[in-house]
Structures are given as C-alpha cells and as structure tokens.
Structure 1
Amino acid sequence: MRTNIIIDDELIKEALKITGIKTKKEIVNIALKELIENHKRKNLMDLKGKIQFDENYDYKKMRENHDIS
C-alpha cells in the first residue's frame, strides 16, 4: 500500500543510525512489525494467572513421548 506520511526526521535518523538499516521504508516496516509483536506479547501477558493447568500435567513426559530423533 502506498502511503504518504510525515515522520519525525530525528526519529528516522536515530533509527537508521542504531540499526544500520538503509531505507526509511524498511525502518517503518520493521517498526510496524515490532509494534505488532509487542502488542501480541502484551496480550499473552494479560493471561497470566488466568489459566489453570492440570496438576498432573508433566511437560517433561510429553517431550519424551514426542522426541524426534
């Protein structure tokens, strides 16, 4: 999607400098991806304490049964 936006030049300069990325387009795309990932991670954190696991659940045993050799 082609979009024209006004972006803070100082933010772009700093992002280019600290990342080594060469283009504004790539900086914006990476920033959007990171924003989305952070929000998804935050949404998962909201579940903390709300999920109850079976007391007999043995993740180590499950790993042994699904070991790919």
Structure 2
Amino acid sequence: MSRTNIDLDDVLVAEVMRRFGVTTKKDAVDLALRRLVGVPLTRDFLLSLEGIGWEGSLDGIRSELPSEL
C-alpha cells in the first residue's frame, strides 16, 4: 500500500461515509474504489462464461428504442 495526497470533493466523501457507515475518509475512498473496480476478472472466470447459452441478436437490441426495452 502507498500513501498519496489528493484533493477530494468533501461532499462526495461525506455522502459515501453517510451511506455506507464508514468513519474515515481513507475507508470511504477505499470502499469507493473497491466498488468501482468490482470483483477481479480472472482468466478462469472469463472462460467459465463460455457457452452460457445466451441466444439473441445484438443488432436487434441496438436498434430498439429505450421505450421498447
């Protein structure tokens, strides 16, 4: 782990702290980054998605209006 000095939006940090019950700015930033990045994608995980059986048309989805979804 390293130490970095950055300027943060205090309103956003306070909102993260309020919503998720964290008590320090460090924990708020750590939580936000972890949620943004999500679960690490491993090669095995990506290979496990192969052949999951989705059938559809991406062209059809792209051509639909948002109100039709």
Q: C-alpha deviations, 1:10-34, integer Å up to 9, x for none?
A: 0011111111110000111111111
Q: Separation in 1 of the partners of 2:39 and 2:7?
A: 24
* Number of the residue aligned with 1:52: 51
Q: Separation in 1 of the partners of 2:9 and 2:26?
A: 14
* Number of the residue aligned with 2:33: 32
Matched residue SS, 1:3? coil
User: Percent identity, aligned pairs only?
Assistant: 36
* Number of the residue aligned with 1:16: 17
Root-mean-square deviation over aligned CA pairs: 2.7
CA contact (8 A) 2:16 2:32 kept: no
Question: Where does structure 1 lack aligned partners over 5 or more consecutive residues?
Answer: 54-69
Structure with the greater relative contact order (CA < 8 A, sep ≥ 6): 1 or 2?
A: 2
* Runs of 4+ in structure 1 over 6 Å off: none
| Structure 1 position 52, deviation (Å) | 2.8
Normalising by the residue count of structure 2, what TM-score does the alignment of the two structures yield? 0.53
**Across the two proteins, how many residue pairs are aligned to each other?**
47
